[in-house]
Structure 1
Amino acid sequence: MAGAQTHNDIRDMLLDAAGLSLDRLPMLHVVFDRLAAFCADSLRHLAASQAYYSLSHVESGRIGDILEVYEANAIAGVFHVPTWDTHVIVGFDRDFVFTIIEVLFGSDGSEPPLDEERSFSNIELRVAQALFEEIAKALQMSFALVSDVQFKFERVETRMDFAVIGRRNNLAVAAKFLLQAIGRGGEMFVIIPQSALTPMRQQLARVVSGESSGRDPTWARQIRSEVQRAEVSLRAILEERQIELGEVADFHIGQIIQLQATPLSPVKLECNDQALFWCSLGQSEGNYKLKIEDVVSYEQEYIDDILPR
């Protein structure tokens, strides 16, 4: 037993030294896809304009090297994760901050985007902090697939040298997300030390049934709700006939066009030019009404179209 435990300890040390192979952790991409969906859903309740989050890519590297790219060009939020006994970083680059400010304050994108190399204002820092607190909830829900964990927001940093979550030469996983809104965009990044993910590598290596595409029940319900609220046109057709263009040209005001249809003729009900049901026509309280009788058979419709009448 002791020999087996020693063997496992040595294997863990070797894996930690070599770093994680992201190709062997499919669930990590699922988690980050969920994070993008949750962030978009959270922003939808705060902004009038539609904003889209998408996972750009996931990479591994040294913490210092990853942060160096964003020096003097980003706002970083430091989160404590007690369960993992570590910290993680979520950051917004300058374009992200400027875009989100305009979206939240009702801009339609008609004005040219800001392109200034300046310090972030107090309003921009406070908005970023509010977003970090929302992202803490999104991170917890996203990682619920593999770990029961909480992310506690601690502080905001604008200097990457102060965004300390361990030694700068320690390995970390960085996920990059693209924000698109009002014709502009920006980048959000999440940095997680590999030492926090290594104990979960078995959970991250498996694909949970039904989650491989990043689907989430809450997100699916939201999409369904938005689709069901879409406006469509409904049309009832009592009779259709083909006539020559010359007859149409002779139409005049006051002319009476005879129909072969009767009150007992079936009425075709269409939605957005798509035939759905056959109905019977009736009247009640001074209004015409339809009663759905049968589903339109596309096979019969096709036969009626090709056979001579």
Structure 2
Amino acid sequence: MSDTELEQMTDAERAMMEEWGDGTDSGAAKADATPSFDGGFDEEEDGGTRILNQDEIDSLLGFDDEISGGEEMSGVMALINSAMVNYERLPMLDIVFDRLVRLMSTSLRNLTSDNVEVSLDQVSTVRFGDYMNSIPLPAMLSVFKAEEWDNNGLLVTDSALIYSVVDVLLGGRKGTPAIRVEGRPYTTIETKLVERMVGVTLSDLSTAFDPLAPVSFQLDRMETNPRFATITQSGNACVLARLRVDMGDRGGRIEILIPYATLEPIRELLLQMFMGEKFGRDSIWENHLTQELYKTEVQLQAVLAEKTVSLHDLLNWKVGTRVVFNTSVDDDLELRCGHFPMFRGPVGQKQGNIAVRVERYIPPEKDDQ
């Protein structure tokens, strides 16, 4: 704008131009606070509220890539999976799997004639569908059935342990890692050798459950495709036990997956804190109390007859008033302990005393509430 045009402007127009200039400056300042393209947000220079950056948002939502699978989830994902994590703790399962580890160490040593070490890595709760999607393939999935509980479980053997067992059973040299041939189906020999190991593992698992409840785990079938090894709904909670099997320089993992529906028949036993728990019961004190109760004196009342009268008639009774009962000599009398009827029988006389012979026991009435 030229100097001549500025001179011709009125005072009102000059004031309007100044306001436009202030608005332009404030708009530029606001533009500086726009989100940047690096995933974060710049803070305002006037000390305004701080805005979360992308890493903090990911951590809040539970999508942080740095969190490993063994650590607990947080944020929104923890809320989503809260029903699974807090489903139910079964303390006795830890003892069962500890016994399984000791039994498997001995059984696999006898099977392979080698120094075998079995360790328990983790016992956790997972959803069946999530676990099936996380199985690293190739693997061998063994579906077994609990005969007494009439339900199924799953035993997964990874490829490293499969080739290690095949190498050991077929006379492979010690100190030489097993040769893996990926990308091909397992042969019949490999399947049969792994089936022997699975049979030994299931037998030890049955023995581990024996102190709680006798159960027999029988191998149903072996699959290599997780789609054909579905034993329950994808959203159902399951107990997952991860076992590590080391045979010198060779080894692998065995994972045992048991749905909660399979463990339901012995749920009360698995809730115990230790083996044989009786929740405070003392057999010595119980026997003593029982013997003392047998010595307790109990008073029995023989009820000759009962009759219901009104309060008006009862107040009119006088000395000598005769009350007639609808009871004959041949009717049975009722023996009561307090207010509870116990026995019934005929009345008679023995050695100058009135006697009642017990002929029938009166069962207690069931409380409908």
Normalization by structure 1: what TM-score? Answer: 0.58
Structure 2 counterpart of 1:230: none
CA contact (8 A) 2:175 2:249 kept: no
CA contact (8 A) 1:56 1:176 kept: yes
Structure 1 counterpart of 2:258: 192
Q: From 162, 179, 191, give the equivalent of 1:114.
A: 179
CA contact (8 A) 2:148 2:216 kept: yes
Deviations 1:282-309 (Å, cap 9, x if unpaired)? xxxxxxxxxxxxxxxxxxxxxxxxxxxx
Structure 2 counterpart of 1:149: 215
Which piece of structure 1 moves more, 126-135 or 110-119? 110-119
- Report the secondary structure of 2:274's partner residue: coil
Letter aligned with residue 113 of structure 1: A
Given the alignment of the two structures, is residue 135 of structure 1 paired with residue 211 of structure 2, yes or no? no
Given the alignment of the two structures, is residue 177 of structure 1 paired with residue 240 of structure 2, yes or no? no
Structure 1 counterpart of 2:270: 204
Distance 2:275 2:208 in 1: 16
- Report the secondary structure of 2:131's partner residue: helix
Letter aligned with residue 131 of structure 2: I
CA contact (8 A) 1:71 1:159 kept: no
Deviations 1:180-230 (Å, cap 9, x if unpaired)? 01212200010100122244333222233599xxxxxxxxxxxxxxxxxxx
Distance 2:88 2:244 in 1: 21
Q: From 48, 61, 64, give the equivalent of 2:126.
A: 61
Structure 1 counterpart of 2:100: 35
Higher-RCO chain (CA-CA 8 Å, sequence separation at least 6)? 1
Q: From 17, 25, 29, give the equivalent of 2:90.
A: 25
Distance 1:95 1:210 in 2: 38
Shift in Å at residue 79 of structure 1? 0.9
Displaced runs of 4+ in structure 1, greater than 6 A?
Answer: none
- Report the secondary structure of 1:107's partner residue: coil
The verdict on how the C-alpha distance between 1:144 and 1:18 changes in structure 2, with shifts beyond 3 A counting, is farther
CA contact (8 A) 2:92 2:275 kept: no
Deviations 1:114-159 (Å, cap 9, x if unpaired)? 2432322221111111122222211111111222211121111111
The verdict on how the C-alpha distance between 1:47 and 1:145 changes in structure 2, with shifts beyond 3 A counting, is same
Which piece of structure 1 moves more, 145-154 or 20-29? 20-29
Distance 1:163 1:101 in 2: 23
Question: What pairs with 1:1-309 in structure 2 (closer than 5 Å)?
Answer: 18=83, 21=86, 24-70=89-135, 72-118=137-183, 119-208=185-274
CA contact (8 A) 1:36 1:54 kept: yes
Indicate the structure (1 or 2) with the bigger Cα radius of gyration: 2
CA contact (8 A) 1:175 1:190 kept: yes
The verdict on how the C-alpha distance between 1:20 and 1:138 changes in structure 2, with shifts beyond 3 A counting, is farther
Report % sequence identity.
30
The verdict on how the C-alpha distance between 1:112 and 1:184 changes in structure 2, with shifts beyond 3 A counting, is closer
CA contact (8 A) 1:47 1:106 kept: no
The verdict on how the C-alpha distance between 1:112 and 1:153 changes in structure 2, with shifts beyond 3 A counting, is closer
The verdict on how the C-alpha distance between 1:149 and 1:30 changes in structure 2, with shifts beyond 3 A counting, is same
Normalization by structure 2: what TM-score? Answer: 0.49
Shift in Å at residue 175 of structure 1? 0.5
> Structure 2 regions of 5+ residues with no counterpart?
1-81, 278-369
- Report the secondary structure of 1:46's partner residue: helix
Distance 2:139 2:245 in 1: 14
CA contact (8 A) 1:80 1:153 kept: yes
The verdict on how the C-alpha distance between 1:191 and 1:197 changes in structure 2, with shifts beyond 3 A counting, is same
CA contact (8 A) 1:19 1:194 kept: no
Shift in Å at residue 30 of structure 1? 1.0
Letter aligned with residue 124 of structure 2: E
CA contact (8 A) 1:173 1:193 kept: yes
The Cα RMSD (Å) is 2.4
Shift in Å at residue 85 of structure 1? 2.2
- Report the secondary structure of 1:177's partner residue: strand
- Report the secondary structure of 2:164's partner residue: helix
CA contact (8 A) 2:241 2:257 kept: yes
Letter aligned with residue 109 of structure 2: R
Structure 2 counterpart of 1:265: none
